Chains A and B, each alone.
Chain A
Amino acid sequence: MALADARALVPHLPAFPHDPAGDGAMLMRAVEACERYTPMVAPDGEDALVLDLTGCFEGQGWTRETIARDALAHLARMGLGGRAAHGPTPDAALALARFGMDELADLPVAALALGAEADLALRRAGLRTIGALAARPRAPLAARFGRELPVRLARLLGEEDRRITPHRPAGAIRAERRFAEPLASVAPLLDVIEGLAQRLESVLARRGEGGRRFDVALFRTDGHVARLAVACGRPLRDPPAIRRLFSERLESLSDPLDPGFGYDMARMAVPLAERLENEQRDLACGEGGEAQPDLAPLLDRLAVRFGPDRIRRFHPRDEHLPEYAARPVPPESGPAAWPRPEPGEPPLRPLFLYDPPRPVGVVAEVPDGPPRRFVWRGKHHRVVRHEGPERIAYPWWKHPEGRGPTRDYYRVEDEMGQRFWLFRHGLYASESDHPQWYLHGLFA
């Protein structure tokens, strides 16, 4: 029926534009809300969810009926109406739910979803229900109505199973807790998290592993799911340490948690676990003065709070250009040995590097000579000592097609004693007529 016809019948009919993206997002919210029952949840089509409840009843006090009722109640709170059905295969359950029936045999042939033409052909042949089809030999059916029919029929009747692909891959290590009364405040959350971590600790210890990442999902009664994740630099299974990381995470949330009508379930999963051996404490610990606390927990906390890419360590890199001579690496990769400097030499590299180098105005006696004066940040510096040039060529052996200007580096000291690292970008006459000067670093 067209909208105009419908409005002729019901003048005040509200109308909304079709929004497939919004519908899809709503369906995904429903998927997230149903993750409370099983991690195996997948959307089907535009209007259905499939939950694989295999093994989900044990120890949880659920039955098929209570899960169906609970799920519908949750969806109703999200403003969604629905029908629930269960079956031996996803296809059977979907067909029962879509047609609102209880028995597979009573389903119309349209449940096979073969298309309008095939439906009509089946009905003309006097085959109206799945029950009638199931009783017949399959080979003639396939010959007449196509090869798809026996496959779909087998899936519908539970003779052949189909796997669903869950929306979110389930971690093998997880623990969950349901609350009799929804948690309406954030305060007790850390205790809940520590409780979950304690349950995971034994699982992890049995596997000889520690978690490198911990995800917590908080299921709100109205279907919203809040997710928190922390990562750590080395495998961890100590509940108080996990609690501290999550307390940092909660504090650093830019958008604080809104418990709304309360959380009624929490789940902790370990998506990434690594080998963690039990370590024996060093008995001779007291010998060499007091032991220093391990830095790793602090680095984990700082990484959770300020972002994992903010902490760096330096590893040497065999590179010509000074800006690439040190490689920043994450702190958990451990220290690397640095080459020892040449004895007797003053520092030949600056301790602080400007990247990009800052352009400076330089006066030199001759265009390819050392600098005499330069202006930086509006201040004039007269060079009284200098050493150079140290010529650093563009790495043409790596980039044969592109050639950059050569740099001539000078270590200079002005009349105040301030020491700078300057370079002339481009060789005079052969590479550039007016080479630009840059300040690249500061010495002590």
Chain B
Amino acid sequence: MTDSPILRLGSRALSAPVPKGRGVIGLDVPEVDRWLKGGLRRDGLHEFYAPSGSPPGPAMALALLAGMRNCGQGRSLMWLRARGGRRKDGPHAPGLAELGIDPAALLLLELADPADLLVAGVESLRHGGAGAVVLELRGRCRALDLTASRRLALAAERSGTMALIVRGDARPVPSAAHTRWQVSAAPSRALPANAPGHPVFDLQLLRQRGGAEGLHVQLEWNREQAVFRTPIYGDPPAVPAGRAEDRRARRAA
């Protein structure tokens, strides 16, 4: 796994040039963008599944990072989720900022149940004022059937707002999504003193409308350059200059 980050790519995909399109969001890695014929559609519906039994953090992060790319010029990113009873679980704004997602651009909508969430999702997508709308759903969600996802996809296509669905604890089901991914965490490149490094995602393309599935790739997110890249495992990177000396000193100790 470590020596070949692009695990399965057809030879057909490697030779063709990366198509350039204004309506897509690239994932920075040429092989991936070629496979996706440019990238994720800006006006599309994209689903990110966390594998059953594993935490939904990476799927959320990837959906938000993709959504943020459609949120230039002060457009907001709306995160819709169902409130889980009396627990106040939720996005942690300082953590989002550390991932490179500006919390100032984020609007959180907490709804009572998945049915309300889908209604609010369609409404927000139709309006077209937000850059992207993230719908976080947990478990098997009967309300999100083929009709409901088709409605979301149509609303996204008409307004140009990106629709992103994050599913935790759920099996992939047929839907009208343009792409469907399974996102889990992959081992990060260790920092000095074996500290966890920059986030690495393990992505499997389960479905692509009008294209081939089966892409399996690992991407590392670099916050400073705001790019995805294939992780290069090996020696820990050189310690960069800057503040936070004490933290690095502790890592080295």
Which residues of A line the B interface, CB within 8 A? 288, 292-295, 297-299, 301-302, 305-306, 310-314, 316, 322, 325-326, 328, 331, 335-356, 377, 379, 384-387, 411-413, 415-420, 441-444
Contact = CB atoms under 8 A, between A and B. Distances in A.
Contact of B60 (A298, A335, A352, A415): A352
Given A295-B129, A313-B107, A352-B57, A387 B98 contact: no
A351 B101 CA distance: 10
Given A295-B107, A305-B119, 14 more contacts: A292-B129, A298-B129, A306-B112, A311-B109, A325-B94, A338-B97, A340-B97, A343-B224, A348-B98, A387-B195, A417-B187, A441-B92, A443-B196, A444-B57
B128 interface: yes
B73 interface: yes
A385 B196 CA distance: 6
Contact of A385 (B56, B110, B194): B194
| In the complex, the 10 A-B pairs of residues with the closest C-beta atoms, listed nearest first | A444-B61, A442-B57, A326-B93, A335-B104, A387-B195, A349-B95, A353-B92, A347-B98, A314-B93, A444-B199
A351 B107 contact: no
A299 B124 CA distance: 9
B242 interface: yes
B126 to A, nearest CB: 9
Contacts of A292: 73, 75, 128-129
A339 B94 CA distance: 9
15 contacts: A292-B128, A293-B129, A311-B107, A313-B106, A341-B223, A344-B224, A345-B98, A348-B98, A352-B56, A385-B190, A385-B195, A418-B57, A419-B199, A441-B92, A442-B55
A346 B188 contact: yes
B199 A346 contact: yes
Contacts of A322: 92, 94
A351 B57 contact: yes
B105 A335 contact: yes
B188 A419 contact: yes
A379 B55 CA distance: 11
B129 A294 contact: yes
B185 A416 contact: yes
B196 A412 contact: yes
B58 interface: yes
B56 A442 contact: yes
Contacts of B247: 345
Interface string B52-75: 011111101110100000000101
Contacts of A336: 104
Contacts of A385: 188, 190, 194-197
B92 to A, nearest CB: 4
B95 to A, nearest CB: 4
A326 B104 CA distance: 11
Contact of B243 (A294, A295, A342, A443): A342
Contacts, number: 216
A441 B96 CA distance: 12
- Decide if the interface of chain B is mainly helix, strand, loop or mixed: mixed
Contact of B93 (A325, A341, A416): A325
B217 interface: no
A217 B75 CA distance: 37
B244 A419 contact: no
B102 A351 contact: no
Contacts of A417: 184-188, 200, 202
Instruction: Determine which residue in A288, A298, A335, A377 has the highest number of CB atoms from chain B within 10 A of its CB, and name it.
Output: A298
Nearest to A297: B127
B5 interface: no
Contacts of B202: 417
B216 interface: no
B108 A311 contact: yes
A231 B204 CA distance: 45
Given A344-B224, A353-B89, A353-B95, A314 B54 contact: no
A306 B128 contact: no
A378 to B, nearest CB: 9
Given A295-B130, A349-B94, A385-B196, A444 B102 contact: no
A291 to B, nearest CB: 10
Nearest to B119: A305
B103 interface: yes
A411 B184 contact: no
B188 A413 contact: yes
A292 B123 CA distance: 16
A295 B127 CA distance: 8
A342 B244 CA distance: 8
B111 interface: yes
A347 to B, nearest CB: 4
A419 B196 contact: yes
Contact of B95 (A344, A356, A377, A441): A441
Contacts of B120: 302, 305-306
B93 A384 contact: no
B92 A349 contact: yes
Contact of A341 (B98, B107, B200): B98
A292 B194 CA distance: 46
B7 interface: no
A293 B190 contact: no
A408 B162 CA distance: 39
B128 A293 contact: yes
A312 B93 CA distance: 12
